[in-house]
Structure 1
């Protein structure tokens, strides 16, 4: 048997005397960042990935709709009376579906259903996005202040949360619609019409949506404030503002992101409910809510017209919720769906 030279043993099993690490061993022990691990966990969830792509398609559709209207590709307000019969119902089967009108036309008006649903997605998604951002902003700031400061400040914010949650939101919506709309348009000089009602919807949803977010953030802050880097920042004399927004807030991005993805579809459904109650953007400007409300009168005669906005609302809400659930599981693998 041939003996192995000592030099070979040293080169294979002993560290490099020059102090440089071996490239192959470095590749084996290379770690993965928490973001990379979360991405790999999320990618393994096929249902969440499909929901994510559907959400991306909705967002792209919402972005492109105003440009397509300006280019004349979409016509959400044009009347096509020649496509209606003597009973003002669409000619042909399935609501007048054709190459020119893939989802048919509206009974009574002859407006293109696809154009109205497409542009309505833009407005509904925009309102929900603004309301979610405003609610997240208010809830995050108050949650950080309550959780980090404690004492009477925490108690005061907690009572404000309890008081807000105790109000019946639907009743308050109906009671405040006229006076708040008048206050926005007359005292704050918000333009009346669609912009005024859009502002009212955003403000109303945010005012009644921040308490749940503040409670979530407060609970997270109670854990974060006990960590060593927070104590170190205190020893170095960091100001309150720095503690809130430089030390605490960057460690809350995961629950904030998950909360946002779950709040947005809730507000999309809420906008549809507000339109049904008549306190949102009014026709002829389309939103998914008021298109669905108008279609209810013709659901028996034109099921496609009713199905199009209803399916659009249901699909986007389900996909956003599934995307949010998958994101939560990826960022917090210890949680159970």
Structure 2
């Protein structure tokens, strides 16, 4: 009976996480149309197929693991993080890597030391950097053009009218324009953050607050991430000149910040278990995201930030245990 109870609890938690993802996913569907839908279908199909095949090869029960919803959660997070209209094999490789290398390699759900979705994302980011930087602009593609972009074997750059640099790309590569000029002329800049990503971040913030209200996770990791990102971006905010690193508000509502804070940093298996360690885990993620965005080679550092902090989890847990022993 305890195993059944645990399985039911896991399934209900995963369903709640999927429900909380819904505002962000619907916003992405509204912004990117068929491209986001293809991402969802490719990631979900690849997740279920690869998990089922790997379980079968290990001679383990297939249906109970597929029914727990964890594979679909990883697929949804990957679909939200990957560029819409990426070639079909990018989400497939990312998802198979997430399930195979990030989850089943260590024995399945509950045993993974790394966040599966971000491990899959890191694999395709390192392997296919060109495709991972081709983000769609505001122009929606019809079904025929969408199928051409996703399923044709095209390796060239997308048309300028379709693909555009994101805010974080524009900010990182800017050499001469002030922030005010970037906001008024650069297609990747919106009102106070990234064009489109402002709304997406607000939507994932709404879903994250639902999970927080339902006590799916504690406040420590998301608050630590958002607070540290706010503080370090405030400390290094040097106005609106051409060498500006961006305001705290810009960093909070650009890229994948809210997705990282409420759906990535809170992953219970690869993260710490004690509240003080979770707080430090979130703080470390926020600092690394800013450092990679500002001085690293990648515009948004969420995947590398969480994987690096996953490596620190044993040290964080030992620190928390010593702290508790001293205080008691």
Q: Return the TM-score normalized by structure 2.
A: 0.23
Which protein shows a greater Rg? 1
Report 1 or 2 for greater relative contact order, CA contacts < 8 Å, sequence distance ≥ 6: 1
